[in-house]
Chains A and B, each alone.
Chain A
Amino acid sequence: MTAERASFRQVVQRVLADSWPPLAEYASSGALPPNAERLRKVSRDLGWWDLEDEDDGFAFASIAIQELGGALGPGELLAGLCVNPVLPADPGGVACSWGSDPRRDAAPKLADGRVSGEVSWCLAAADDVERVLVFAEDDGEPVAVLVRSQGEGARLEEMSGSDPTRRFWRLVMDDAPLDEILARGDQATDLRLAVERRISVGLALDSLGIAKSALALSVAYAKIREQFGAPIGSFQAIKHRCVDMFVLVESADVLVEAAVASGDTQSGAMAKAAGCDAAAEVTRLALQIHGGIGYTWEHPCHLLVRRAKLNQALGGSARSLRRAVADGLLAALGTDIPARGERR
């Protein structure tokens, strides 16, 4: 099994070398993000999009997702390999939100077959967003619906932010007719939780790949860049940073691997919080080690930082995820624990 996974990782790396620009070239191309058509086709031909038809398929998909992350891969494959397998709809052109924060964004409302509200940070498994998966409320009951993004009452806006390597969309709905109801009630809630878990793990995998690339670039640079007549990697200040980065990467790696294997909500939340925090810190340290060159468009470092930062902010903050973990664990103590703000 381990050998099979290792050889699959090599296949993914070969495909990326063949069908996706290397990091250095990607960074200087200016036209971001690169065209993903070839990678999309090759990955389909190789069956990556259907990996989960097999036992243990997500373990293999996760390898591809992580390697894609390290190569600043396209959002389509992240969405396609990670979230689409849990959607009960024909996933072509379906986008869903990777950045909803239920505390901030009120759930869209469904009434008389029409939806009003907003969902942001939508990522699609294709170039075009045809339909968007919306978790809405119908008179208080949770529903999962698909809404046409270009139809009546719907407007799709591109969201431009710090990370130019990935395209996100905001869907604004004003009495938009729904296309299809996927689930209601508990089934809708279960679907939402399944999607959110996949998003957590997907972002953690993407970030882990980013962190590994940032570490590799930094270690290589510390060996060749000379100041004060010696490679900067010979100075303790730099050595220790490299080791800190390595420890962060390895710690994230084991948590993410555990989350892929287990499939429960708690491990997903832990992996997302720790993995994305680790990548944000590792890429920050990578910038520090590279100095000025890391900020320039001639070097991929700044793109890794941007992606890691956005991943950290998407999919629920580390704070809310850790809180959910704590709430889950404390709930096991029974009902004697006072709720927040309550005193005994």
Chain B
Amino acid sequence: MLDFTMGESAAELRGRLRRMVAEFFPADFLGAFTDDPADLAMTQQFSRKLAGEGLLTVAWPREFGGSDGSVWEQTVVREEMWAHHEPRGPQYMGLNWVGPAIMAYGTAEQKALHLPPIATGDAIWCQGFSEPESGSDLASLQTRATRVGDHWEITGQKIWTSYAGMAGWCVLAARTGPKDSGRRGISLFLIPMDREGITVRPVRAMLGPHHLNECFFDSVVATDGEMLGEVDAGWGVMRTALAHERVGIARYARCERLLWLLRDVLRHEWTDHDEGVRNDWASALVQVRVARLLAYRVVERQEGNQMVDLEASQARIAATTCDQQVAEVVSQLLGPRSLLGPAAGAPSHGAFEDHWRYAQAATVASGTIEIQREIVSRELLGRPAVG
């Protein structure tokens, strides 16, 4: 049963998280990925603080360092964190899907090695999936893992790797099957980023500094013990991971917060705006709520261990288009002020401009909106016969 407010304990948790963020971060905090290294350091400290209070991996089982909380508590954490510019910095990938994937597919040794540092907020993970020639067609990836004696040697290039410059570990997808084996010949490796042969180059992009990177792998050695799951069986794990990733960022939560901020920033100016503008503001809010509820539906099914490809992609389409819709409403209501950066006396310390830039990438990252539509259409239409 979907419960929009999630009850009193959720409200309490929300309040607690908001107080923690407000006490820990300055009002102009816009996330870990800035040119000021202090921002990243602060998010690392905050993650440890959350871990200390059992809130970082709240829904993980106790045996792996979690609090045995519900997925709904995890959802509240996810929403409040994203709404407040992700004060966990680059942590969410580890606790959202890398950890759970290791719980599901990892060996006892892998669990013992990797889960505790994620639960304490000490490990940063990145995900080596996309390649320059394998974006939307991810299953065509060509980074090669070759068997040499009793180990593997991995050579290839990854791109759009978030957090690669700060990560200690990487979940690396490499081809272990024949070149044209598609999704049947991919394996996953858990590799430390300081291993010989790995080079990371930052890619400067519209999202801001330190977001995206290119990674080069030159005969990087990996042991059998570093493979996650069975050989050639990586795609199934990736598919689950991508479904998690598609709802792993509660974009709608920041959207809703921005709409309220906008209400307050405009204050008396609302009287100048005609009905159409109010209509657009409310429409955006409705879309935000839709995205939220669709995400809850995915969480509910994931909890029941059901396949969620269609639901996750549908929720992703709703969340990413609502990101852009909110950016549009902001720009209509604030005019050129919405495009002022933090240094120029912008409203809400530049949070609106930051959102506009970030929203532009929403329908491309984690699978383009075209690919999300493909995934939905496959289940919706099957493969209709031509002619």
Contact = CB atoms under 8 A, between A and B. Distances in A.
B159 interface: yes
B177 interface: no
A137 interface: no
- Main secondary structure, interface of A, reads mixed
Contact of A287 (B336, B338, B346, B364): B364
B130 A309 contact: no
A271 to B, nearest CB: 19
B135 to A, nearest CB: 6
Given A227-B135, A228-B136, A313-B331, A161 B340 contact: yes
Given A296-B212, A305-B360, A227 B339 contact: no
Contact of A161 (B324, B344, B369): B344
Contact of B276 (A294, A298, A319): A319
Interface stretch (B9-17, B54-62, B199-207, B226-234): B199-207
B360 A295 contact: yes
A291 B364 contact: yes
A140 interface: no
Contact of B336 (A294, A306, A310, A323): A310
A296 B361 CA distance: 11
A284 B206 CA distance: 13
B332 A319 contact: yes
Given A101-B335, A284-B360, A292 B343 contact: no
B264 interface: no
Given A295-B364, A305-B360, A227 B336 contact: no
Interface string A234-257: 010110000000000000000000
Nearest to A226: B133
A287 B358 CA distance: 13
Contacts of A227: 134-137, 140
Nearest to B135: A291
Contacts of B204: 296-298
A83 B346 CA distance: 27
Contact of A340 (B274, B343, B360, B368): B274
A296 B211 CA distance: 11
Contacts of A317: 332, 335
B360 A162 contact: no
Contacts of A292: 130, 135, 159-160, 212, 364-365
B341 interface: yes
A121 interface: yes
B77 to A, nearest CB: 28
B356 interface: yes
Contacts of B341: 160-162
A167 interface: no
Nearest to A30: B204
A287 B363 CA distance: 10
B335 A99 contact: yes
A303 to B, nearest CB: 9
B357 interface: yes
Contacts of A296: 203-206, 212
A288 interface: yes
Contacts of A238: 370
Interface string A160-195: 111100000000000000000000000000000000
B331 A309 contact: yes
A314 B335 CA distance: 7
A121 B205 CA distance: 25
A159 B340 contact: yes
7 contacts: A160-B344, A161-B341, A162-B356, A288-B364, A302-B206, A312-B331, A313-B335
